[in-house]
Structure 1
Amino acid sequence: MKASKTVEQNGTNLEILFVGRSNVGKSSLIKELFGAKVRVGKRPGVTLRPFHVQLSDLLVTDMPGFGFMSGVKDRKQDIVKDKIVHYIENNAERIKLGVLVIDGPFFPDVVDRWDARDQIPIDIEMFDFLREVGIDTLIAANKMDKVKENEYDPLLDEIAARLGLEPPWENWKHLIAPISVKKGDLKPLKSLLKDRLHEMKRDDLFKYI
């Protein structure tokens, strides 16, 4: 396993891209999934450049968090967002799978706040953009351990609705994975990742997940 802030093009046949708002647990998720030594910050936006993990010919990329970044000016935040878009556009052919990581319990409220300002939330923009460029994209709804049992399915229905996926969320289990990085409950996401790798005839990569 090789981890770095730069990537060598040689030997990479497919890429899994992780994107998400700052401080949703994206880097911690990658660390738990792949055992990678990813920089994990307690302050939003500590990761300002892509971080790559090379696993055989599979490249796992942790993109900078978008949205609020502690100590980062608005202009620089815009630059970071542009770099994310350009990276995806430049590598869309190689990126076989995207994973949008969200803070499950807060996601509907975040979307509604943006809607109240007549603005499209960047999470929604990113989800739509990845799909527009032909990248199969999963939703990892993190921090679901904070949700009461009787509120679990209704919350996931709301998440699906905000993403433009008509509820009930069970109809989208092939896209939505409720997880808890803190509790080590990643089974739904691991299952979806393996499903996609199997479709690519890459069962040999299961050992890394």
Structure 2
Amino acid sequence: MTFEGRPNRDAEVVLVGRSNVGKSTLMRELTGHDVTTGKKPGVTRKPNHFDWAPQSFMFTDLPGFGFMTGVEEDHREAIKTDVVRYVEDNADSILAGVLVVDGKAVIDIIDRHSGEGEIPHDVEMFGFLQDVDVQPIVAVNKMDKVDDRDERLNALCERLGLYPPWQQWDDTIAPITAKKGSIEPLNEALRSCFREAKRDDLLQFVK
């Protein structure tokens, strides 16, 4: 395994996404624990685990990937490779992969990297989670900064290969504002995922 020191747990929810989309803030809201972040993007090179031994369950915040100011391209690619390997290696115990995106910027970022032969990182990660049979949930963060909410979320669905309107994907598309503690749509999607996995004992972690 690429990342060492993973607690041996039967069930896991991983947070994946680009740098600076608010994963650490979301992790704090989900776990109630402060998450130490590096001052510069790309500094964190290992997962942050928050686990509960009695339920054999943990949330894992994986390092951010994609473009990072001042970070060499080979370093960025190494991070992404490590994240992909971690998910592949532990897919059997990962109940959900929460892909965190910036609600205001994600459409522009995807469209900027949609040239011939290119697959944007966010779209690629969404498809990858599906390919390894990990339930993908897209936490569309910073929605307090988005004016055209429905239009923006429908556009994101189209780019991920989901038919709009976005409201029919409430187990997959979760508009949130982690900084303000507004994450109920994500909690609801996780509750649905836990019930489907017959892990009602984990519902206490997504109240």
What's the TM-score, normalizing by structure 1?
A: 0.90
The 8 Å contact of residues 95 and 135 in structure 1, kept in 2 or not, is answered as yes
Residue in structure 2 matched with residue 174 of structure 1 by the alignment: 171
Residue in structure 1 matched with residue 125 of structure 2 by the alignment: 126
C-alpha distance in structure 2 between counterparts of 1:23 and 1:189, whole Å: 19
C-alpha distance in structure 2 between counterparts of 1:42 and 1:193, whole Å: 30
Residue in structure 2 matched with residue 106 of structure 1 by the alignment: 105
Residue in structure 1 matched with residue 88 of structure 2 by the alignment: 89
Deviation at 1:113, TM superposition (A): 0.4
2:46 partner SS: coil
Deviation at 1:171, TM superposition (A): 1.9
Q: State the one-letter code of the partner of 2:170.
A: K
1:30 partner SS: helix
Runs of at least 4 residues off by over 4 Å = none
1:96 partner SS: strand
1:136 aligns with 2:135: yes
Deviations 1:164-208 (A, max 9, x none): 111111121121000001221101111111121122222222222
C-alpha distance in structure 2 between counterparts of 1:28 and 1:117, whole Å: 35
What's the TM-score, normalizing by structure 2?
A: 0.91
Residue in structure 1 matched with residue 75 of structure 2 by the alignment: 76
- The RMSD of aligned alpha carbons is 1.6
Deviation at 1:42, TM superposition (A): 5.2
Deviations 1:26-51 (A, max 9, x none): 11101111112322345432322111
C-alpha distance in structure 1 between counterparts of 2:145 and 2:124, whole Å: 26
The 8 Å contact of residues 17 and 23 in structure 2, kept in 1 or not, is answered as yes
